[in-house]
Amino acid sequence: MLLLLRQGRVSKWFSGIGQEAISVGCTLALRPDEYILPLHRNLGVFTTRKIPLWRLVAQWQGKQSGFTQGRDRSFHFGTQDYKIVGMISHLGPQLAVADGIALASTLRKDKSVTLVFTGEGGTSEGDFHEALNVAAVWNLPVIFVIENNGYALSTPTSEQFRCDRLSDRAAGYGMEGITIDGNGLDEVYSTISKLADSIRKKPRPVLVECMTFRMRGHEEASGIKYVPKRLLEEWAKKDPIARFERQLIRTKKLTKRDISTVRAELVASIDAEVERAFAEPDVEPSSERELREVYAPSPSTPVAENNRELKQMRLIDAVSDGLREGLRQHSDLILMGQDIAEYGGVFKVTEGFASEFGRVRVRNTPLCESAILGAALGLSVAGYRSVVEMQFADFVSSGFTQVVNNLAKSHYRWGQSANVVVRMPTGAGTGAGPYHSQSNEAWFTHTPGLKVAYPATPADAKGLLMTALVDPNPVMFFEHKQLYRSVSGEVPLGAHYIPFGQARVHREGEQMVIITYGAGVHWAHKVAEEHPEWSIAILDLRTLVPLDIASIERLVVATGRALVLHEDTLFGGIGGEIAAYIGEHLFEYLDAPVSRVASLDTPVPFAASLEGQFLPRTRLEESISRLLAY
């Protein structure tokens, strides 16, 4: 690889020279059906799992036959065939994914171990703390391996942590921690083998620090000028391959001639595999294919029985009923969130669930949003589906990387679905202030790979939620807190599904259409009822991704005037996208400019008078009047 890099035949390379014993020893110690989550210096994981070398080179070259089909580089990929889940550049988030895979093993009682790598620099990230804490609390069968190679890019360990050994941190989580010689293949293999056997019998997490050294730069372009020469000379004497060769000769397993023969055979084999990879076809760009494969194919929305019994429910009851029905229908569904078990969640959506379905499936979590969202992805990798409750939508920011970089991109990158629903109690109007009232749906409509649902009525809340549970893609499911107990309606009992991407016309009209969702639907109804002289159509989008463009077009063409209403702040809200689409594609049908009504571009204030001014409902009537008079 270094030679190809110098020849300009590859663009980037992260060398694992000096660290090979860790990758090879750990992988040999696990069963082939046990998951490993490597980093970018763990080439030995892939080769020990016997992935054809030509496919690895094709991956590094961005070829069509690579594991990501040119969509990601290096070891940023996973493969179910070899039970490997690749890294993302943020490093730390993959630790929580290992938690989720291990949780699935615990649920199945299949006596499997999951092993995940991190570097000593990665242990400074909050994701390291969260993942270890969750694993310890839940007794998950995970081996956390730290490759302590001296430097995080150019930052030495002395500037990363103050403890003598990183394994000492394990005690703070109530787990075992050991430090071993990471350059001794025998020691790595025997240590991990014994731990894996023990963990299979008694599930628990263990932290293993492997002492090694990075003999090359973080990646080749960065060089190693910052590394003292004496350190390189000292660790060169401990090179794991040379050391293992000396051991084989000393114990008369091989001779020097044998080793030379093996090396020559390997060089010839590698050269042939590399040339095969270079001969593979390049990726043929296709916009249609790229857009299609951002999302996992969704099954047809199930059709519920006709003539079902209806029951009057509040919106909060409908959400609860949808979750309960989902748990009954899907034995692989796991609920996770803070205080959702016996307490029932802060809004009591899951009250009584723990006694009905058990705490194995209705799981209280530590305050670790990032770790739980990552664990949800791990559950999906291992064949489970999950619902994660954010106590308030605002708190999802603590797990933002997991949502927008891990959940959203997994299918596009390597074909792994993420059957995860993130419940987001959202919205203002309750005097809860800046950190419990945000409408942050636009954060996620901007992220390809996520679906976004935002119901306004009880029947839609249940129907969209049950559809989200069978969708193999991550769904951000927004539930307006003020609507929880203030809005009621008839809801079908039993299974109830509403297809994503189908808006609902709440009211027909001839003069204009209000395009909205969530609380905006009810604000629009109130104004329309107070002004019977106005002929207003109301379109409830219901899902923001996918967006029902056809319904928007039909009503804009029919009325000639459009007002987009949402509770999110004006600048950067999805209303801007809808208005832009109408202006670009439906301009000739308009009798007036597209109007937008949204919240002020400030954080959500606490005081009732300020919050009332902030919300768009106080400006809606005037905006409608102005648009109709244009």
Domains: count for the chain: 3
Q: Are residues 40 and 132 located together in one domain of the fold?
A: yes
CA distances from 13 to 16, 47, 75, 174 (A): 10, 16, 10, 38
- pLDDT tens profile 371-387: 999 999 999 999 999 99
Same structural domain, 32 and 149: yes
Judged against a pLDDT cut of 90, whether residue 302 lies above it is answered with no
Residue 454 lies in a domain: yes
Residue 158 has pLDDT above 90, yes or no: no
Question: Is the predicted pLDDT of residue 303 greater than 80, yes or no?
Answer: no
Annotate 409-431 with b (16+ C-beta within 10 A) or e (fewer): bbbbbbbbbbbbbbbbbbbbbee
Q: What is the dihedral of CA 18, 19, 25, 28, to 10 degrees?
A: -100
Query: Would you say residue 296 lies in a domain?
Result: no
Mean pLDDT, the chain, integer:
96
> Does 436 participate in catalysis according to the annotation?
yes
For residues 410 and 536, membership in a common domain is answered with no
Q: How many CB atoms lie within 10 A of CB 20?
A: 23
200 and 110 in one domain? yes
CA distance 446 to 404: 9
Question: Do 427 and 509 lie in a common domain?
Answer: no
How sure is the predictor about 192, in pLDDT bands with cuts at 50, 70 and 90?
very high
pTM over 0.85: yes
Is 555:547 a contact under the CB 8 Å cutoff? no
Identify the band that residue 297 occupies on the pLDDT scale cut at 50, 70 and 90.
Answer: very high
CA gap 480, 477 in Å, rounded: 10
Domain boundary, last residue among 251, 269, 299: 251
- 54 within a domain of the structure (yes/no): no
User: Which residues 6+ apart lie within 8 Å of 165 measured at CB?
Assistant: 177, 179, 209
- Output the domain CATH number for residue 34: 3.40.50.970
**In degrees rounded to 5, what are phi and psi of residue 603?**
-60, 160
Domain boundary among 492, 513, 540: 492
Domain shared by 521 and 488, yes or no: no
Cis amide leading into 546 (omega within 30): yes
Q: What are 152's two structure tokens? A: 């995080």
Positive or negative: CA dihedral 19, 24, 27, 32:
positive
Token pair recorded at residue 520: 């905006």
Q: What is the mean pLDDT of residues 291-307?
A: 84
Distance from CA of residue 439 to its chain's centroid?
Answer: 20
CB 420 within 8 A of CB 377: yes
Same domain assignment for residues 526 and 466:
no
Residue 579 in contact with residue 564, Cβ under 8 Å? Answer: yes
**Rounded distance between C-alpha atoms, residue 355 and residue 72, angstroms:** 44
Question: What is the rounded distance in angstroms from the CA atom of residue 593 to the CA atom of residue 581?
Answer: 13
The alpha helices in 446-514, defined as continuous H runs, are 458-470
Q: What is the pLDDT of residues 575-587, one digit of tens each?
A: 999 999 999 999 9
- The reply to whether 5 falls in a domain is no
Same domain, 478 and 364: yes
The yes-or-no verdict on residue 144 having pLDDT over 80 is yes
Picking from 22-26, 162-166, 345-349, which range would have the lowest pLDDT averaged per residue?
162-166
Statement to judge: residues 335 and 387 lie in one domain:
yes
How much is the pLDDT for 307?
A: 62
Last residue of a domain, one of 251, 283, 302: 251
Q: Evaluate if residue 458 carries a pLDDT over 90.
A: yes
Q: Is residue 147 part of a domain?
A: yes
User: What crossing angle do the helices spanning 94-108 and 126-137 adopt, rounded to 10°?
Assistant: 10
Residue 68 identity (one-letter amino acid): T
Stretch 178-202: mean pLDDT: 98
Shared domain for 465 and 581, answered yes or no, is no
Q: Is 349 helix (H, G, I), strand (E, B) or coil?
A: coil
**Cα distance between residue 437 and residue 433, in whole Å:** 6
**Cα–Cα distance, 324 to 356 (Å, whole number):** 9
Residue 173 lies in a domain: yes
Percent of the chain with pLDDT over 90: 90
Catalytic residue among 40, 76, 436, 480: 436
Task: Give the range of the structural domain holding residue 585, as residue numbers without chain letter.
Answer: 504-628
- Which DSSP helix (H) or strand (E) runs through 277? helix 256-279
Asked if residue 261 belongs to a domain, the reply is no
Domain containing 585 — which CATH number?
3.40.50.920
3-state secondary structure of 86: coil
pLDDT of residue 305: 62
Give me the pLDDT at residue 306, please.
62
Residues 372 and 452 in one domain: yes
Residue type, 399: G
Domain assignment present for 72: no
Q: Does the pLDDT of residue 223 top 70, yes or no?
A: yes
Same domain (yes/no): 235, 343: no
